[in-house]
Amino acid sequence: MNILYKISIDRVNANYISGWCFHRFKPGRPVQLECYQDEQLRAEAEASLFREDLQNLGMHPTGKCGFEFVTEAEVGLDFTKPVLIRPKGKSTVLADLSRDDRIGSGKHIHSAIRRLILKKKKLPRTAVFMHIPKTAGTSFNTLAQSVYPKGTAISHIELLPQSKYSSLAEYYNYISGHLRLGSIQESFNSENIDLYTILREPYAQLESHLKWLIQTAANQENRYFEVTNPIIYNLGVKLGQVIFADKDSLTEFVGNLNSVEAAFVDNLQTRYFLDRQPERVALDDVETAMGNSSLFKLIGITEKYDSFVREFGELNEIAFSAHEKRMNISPSASLFDLNSGEVRTILLPLVYADLKIYRSIAQP
Mean pLDDT of 204-219: 91
Residues 168, 63 within the same domain: no
237 Cβ contact partners less than 8 Å away, ≥ 6 residues apart: 217
| Domain endpoint, select from 43, 76, 109 | 109
Residues 136, 102 within the same domain: no
Cα 69 to Cα 4, 27, 43, 346, 357: the distances in Å are 21, 20, 6, 41, 41
pLDDT band at 57 (very low <50, low <70, confident <90, very high): confident
pLDDT mean across residues, the chain: 86
CA nearest neighbour of 347 among 199, 136, 149, 205: 205
Residues 104, 148 within the same domain: no
Number of structural domains in the chain: 2
Residue 33 lies in a domain: yes
| Domain endpoint, select from 75, 109, 143 | 109
Residues 10, 58 within the same domain: yes
* pLDDT attached to residue 99: 62
Residue 244 lies in a domain: yes
- Neighbour order of strands in the sheet with 193-199: 153-154, 174-177, 126-130, 193-199, 298-301
Residue 156 lies in a domain: yes
Residue 114 lies in a domain: no
Residues 183, 207 within the same domain: yes
Residue 330 lies in a domain: yes
Residue 224 lies in a domain: yes
Residue 270 Cα to chain centre, angstroms: 18
Residues 65, 212 within the same domain: no
Q: Look up the pTM and report it.
A: 0.78
pLDDT at 119 over 50: no
Residues 74, 155 within the same domain: no
Residue 297 lies in a domain: yes
Instruction: Provide the CATH number for the domain around residue 321.
Output: 3.40.50.300
| Domain endpoint, select from 59, 82, 109 | 109
Residues 239, 289 within the same domain: yes
With the CA atoms of 129, 135, 138 and 143 taken in that order, what torsion angle do they form, in degrees rounded to the nearest 10?
A: -70
* pLDDT attached to residue 211: 94
* pLDDT attached to residue 249: 95
pLDDT in tens, 72-118: 767 788 888 899 999 999 999 999 988 643 333 333 333 333 433 44
* pLDDT attached to residue 104: 31
Residues 227, 327 within the same domain: yes
pLDDT at 199 over 70: yes
pLDDT at 245 over 60: yes
Q: Is the dihedral of CA 34, 226, 276, 328 positive or negative?
A: positive
- Containing structural domain, residue 56: 5-109
Residues 54, 161 within the same domain: no
Specify the long-range contacts of residues 220-223, CB closer than 8 Å, at least 24 apart.
Answer: 221/49, 222/18, 222/49, 222/68, 223/16, 223/68, 223/70
Residues 339, 283 within the same domain: yes
pLDDT in tens, 220-229: 666 767 776 7
Residue 115 lies in a domain: no
Angstrom distance (rounded) from CA 176 to CA 174: 7
Residues 209, 339 within the same domain: yes
Percentage of the chain modeled with pLDDT above 70: 87
